[in-house]
Amino acid sequence: MFRCGIAYPRCRWILPLLLLFAIIFDIIAIAAKSGWVDDGDSNSHYASMWSQCRGRNNNWECKSLMEFSWAQAVAALMIIGLLILILAFIISCIALCCTLNITLLPVIGVLLFIVVIIQFIALIIYPVKFNDLIFEGHYDYTWAYGFGWGATILTIGCGILFCCLPRYEDELSGIAKTKYIYSTA
């Protein structure tokens, strides 16, 4: 006999794990030295969240982007988002892994939506201002910028799940019977 159902108690471990992945993606995006943007085929100019470099081969001249207020804002927003995300991860571990504390789940959801708003603003400011001030041709946004978006998308999904989970308190605690989606006799 084959039965397929949703095991809600597994959510207690999966959601903090997804938040951990979002934290890792954010750290990769913030710490990436190879850049958020490069100029495509010529490989003579690239920029990270922190600096921009021009040159060829091993002869690179790098300047800090931190002289621009928009770059400072992007860095501050990404770091603040990361710190709030770490706080949400710690609270989620306490609420779901140690003991089941349903009252903390909406708080975690709200924190995650704050992170989404903050990082969304940062990830929009960067390309707009980069194109306004530094743009000199065709540029490609690289994997490091993509990790920032990946962390933001993961955080959106986790925020929705944390806001919906209080409705399933009995299922999370294992009190309710398993509801099978598909069952064969």
pLDDT tens per residue, range 131-143: 787 666 677 888 8
- What pLDDT sits at residue 8? 64
Q: How many domains does the chain have?
A: 1
pTM: 0.85
**Measured distance CA(92)–CA(84) in Å, rounded:** 12
Determine the Cα–Cα distance for residues 150 and 145; give it in Å rounded to an integer: 9
Domain hosting 89: range is 3-36+72-183
For 53-73, what is the mean pLDDT?
Answer: 85
Residue 52 domain-assigned (yes or no): no
Q: What pLDDT is recorded for position 172?
A: 66
In a domain? residue 148: yes
Rounded to 5°, the CA angle 142-109-171 comes to 115
